[in-house]
Structure 1
Amino acid sequence: MASMLEFRTPGFNPYAVKYSPYYDSRIAVASAANYGIVGNGRLFCLGLGPQGVQIEKTFDTNDAQYDLAWSEINENQLLAACGDGSIKLYDVNVNDFPIMNFFEHKREAYSVAWSPVTKDTFASSSWDGTVKIWSPTRRESLRTLPVGNCTYSTSYCPSNPNIVSAVSTDSHLRIFDLRTPVTAQYHLTTKIPVHQPSLVATPPGISPPCLPAEILTHDWNKYRDTVIATGGVDKVIRTFDIRSPAAGPTSIMTGHDYAVRRLAWSPHAADILLSASYDMTVRLWTDGSTMEPNYGSMPVKPGLQLGIMNRHTEFVTGVDWCLFGVAGWVATVGWDERVLLWDANMMLQGKG
């Protein structure tokens, strides 16, 4: 792969990477010393220019950083989810200290996501078994959504600010609708067992579901706003249509050798997604939705691996797509203290 940029984070093992929603030349990386087991964290704000990748700003925290999200309302602000349970809001024009500190989670804050529609709230999830909804202008959370077990990932529906999703250790994908009455369900409207058998036969070559395993990551499709991809410890990527929660997966993608740590749907194509894994690879997939049907009327499509990037030498923990341009530029990070920027479309041309 000819065009690959690299940046190193000596002493810090990255956990997440995100492109700015405002600039194609700005990315951020959340990281932790000692693989996040003990020690502090560092948030890197990086600029891409003629000299390659340069540090614009760093922010250190007393505990590990597990995730980050750029603000959708201020181009210079971003959130870090920290091992002490806090979520910190930083401004690249303000030195050293967070401009806000949100501190309600009782365990590690593992995921954070900014609402892409109304842009006035963000969500966090924690090992304490909750998802919390916040306003960037209030120190107290707006709502707490109980999941009940370690919640690795939370996200907003890309078209509806009232719909929030979460995945967790109990192998379920949960959908909350904040417009519903609180009641005993606390806005929970859909609960999909990720490892349930499909109601229909799976395509040849696709093994049946295995025992329930932790779900570590999920992402909403940017073009089909009822479709969510999940990945986790059992190495399998599945997509679900939340309109049919009992139907089982709509597509299944297999190929990783270890747990799938992070997923990201392409902002440029409805059927393309990237996955990052503890097997040290990043893989490019089509979910099969745009391919000619090879299995008659079978609703469960076998996704197809389009390419593999194996330049990382440790667990790959983060992947994100650049929103801008026609090409498929992506950023990946791993525990090898490296940030790699490369063109995923090169994979499609067999040059990966």
Structure 2
Amino acid sequence: MNPARPIPAVLQTPGFAHYSVAWSPFHNSRIALASAANFGLVGNGRLHMVSLIPGVGGSSAVKLDKQYETQDGIYDVAWSELHENQLVTGSGDGTLKLWDILLNNFPIRSWHEHSREVFSVDWSNIKKDTFASSSWDGNVKLWTPEMPRSVTTLHAHLSCVYQALFSPHQPDILATCSTDGTMKIFDLRSPAYATGAATNSFTHPLSAAVLTVPASGAELLSLDWNKYRPFVLATAGVDKMVKVWDCRMIQSANPSAQTIGGVCEVQLPGHEYAVRKVQWSPHHPDLLATASYDMTCRIWSTNPSAGGSKLLQVHDPHTEFAAGCSWSLYDEGLIASCGWDGKLFVFRA
């Protein structure tokens, strides 16, 4: 595709609002969409499988390949890091489902341990047999596809955990964000997680974070790890602000004790309403994308040129809340955005 032709390709899915979009880690043309009827308030869910079709002269199109129905809205989707045709979804009824896109109609596995909505799922790109889910019940659970139940439960927050993400640098580090306005980092190797002979992490959930960052006075809706700088994360939420944090003070003298801190390196004001999604570029250490309830997706630089603006681009064709954005893993300028208007856009930054 030609960078001089930034006209977005668009796909409309009538009746279903999009909550999340994810590019395949194996194929540069596969996209998954997590969707829900009636804006996710009540009704069915749908997983859309989409292909990006390059055209003549740098133009492109997106094509709906397949869709899967669920009894409740789907809030998030993550591709398997092990199997190119598998992916996991989280639903409003507290279930997780594993799908194989070579099969029709039904998931190949389902789990139901969360007592409330599952709002995020994330597949570890280091421990490739492990994925995580976070829920409005305040818990984060770790899973492997072969096991009939979760392998670890974290009592991460007292209220809704909007997102839980594995570190792309260290396999046992996990970050969470919540309605309580904090970002927490968990180290699964910490002595705080040791269990005795009569206990296990399934019946006695773990809860001790090694670092708590009071990132906002309002709800934190999203976070992401920088792909090039370990322990640098971005957060975003209801206060309309995107913040970049240096959390290297996680190296505590007492690893079993909770540390409160983290230094805010950069603040990125500009969105007019809550920021629903933040994601660092997988290709550049200083670029990130955001999606907001102000119906825009924006591209930012944390290290602009002298006299330049940190806000590089505003993508605003959505006519409802922009709920998700995702960078292509293979084409450094390509981004997908999705929203409650039932539209998927693929555009060039």
Instruction: Give the Cα–Cα distance (whole angstroms) in 2 for the partners of residues 247 and 220 of structure 1.
Output: 14
Tell me whether 1:49 sits opposite 2:70 in the alignment: no
State the superposition RMSD in angstroms: 1.7
Alignment of 1:107-256 (within 5 A): 107-146=116-155, 147-181=157-191, 182=193, 186-195=207-216, 212-244=217-249, 246-256=261-271
AA matched with 2:211: T
Tell me whether 1:68 sits opposite 2:77 in the alignment: yes
Partner of 2:338: 333
Partner of 1:347: none
- Tell me the TM-score normalised to structure 2 length: 0.88
Q: Secondary structure at the match of 2:248?
A: coil
Instruction: Give the Cα–Cα distance (whole angstroms) in 1 for the partners of residues 347 and 271 of structure 2.
Output: 20
Write the deviation string for residues 59-108 of structure 1: whole angstroms up to 9, x where unpaired. 11000000000000000001111000011000001111111101100000
Partner of 1:273: 288
AA matched with 2:107: P
- Tell me the TM-score normalised to structure 1 length: 0.87
Write the deviation string for residues 20-39 of structure 1: whole angstroms up to 9, x where unpaired. 00111100000000000000
Displacement over 6 Å in runs of 4+: none
Q: Secondary structure at the match of 2:210?
A: strand
Could you tell me how far 1:55 is from its partner in structure 2?
A: 1.9
Tell me whether 1:309 sits opposite 2:318 in the alignment: no
Instruction: Give the Cα–Cα distance (whole angstroms) in 1 for the partners of residues 247 and 309 of structure 2.
Output: 18
Instruction: Give the Cα–Cα distance (whole angstroms) in 2 for the partners of residues 101 and 188 of structure 1.
Output: 28
AA matched with 2:317: R
AA matched with 1:171: G
Q: Secondary structure at the match of 1:35?
A: helix
Instruction: Give the Cα–Cα distance (whole angstroms) in 1 for the partners of residues 95 and 158 of structure 2.
Output: 19
Of the candidates 20, 39, 42, which is equivalent to residue 38 of structure 1? Answer: 42
Q: Tell me if structure 1 keeps the 8 A contact 2:212–2:261.
A: no
Aligned length: 318
Could you tell me how far 1:185 is from its partner in structure 2?
A: 6.2
Partner of 1:323: 329
Partner of 1:15: 19
Instruction: State, as a whole percentage, how many aligned pairs show the same letter.
Output: 45
Where structure 2 has 5 or more consecutive residues not aligned to the other structure, the ranges are 56-60, 195-204, 250-259
Q: Tell me if structure 1 keeps the 8 A contact 2:175–2:183.
A: yes
Where structure 1 has 5 or more consecutive residues not aligned to the other structure, the ranges are 196-211, 295-301, 345-352
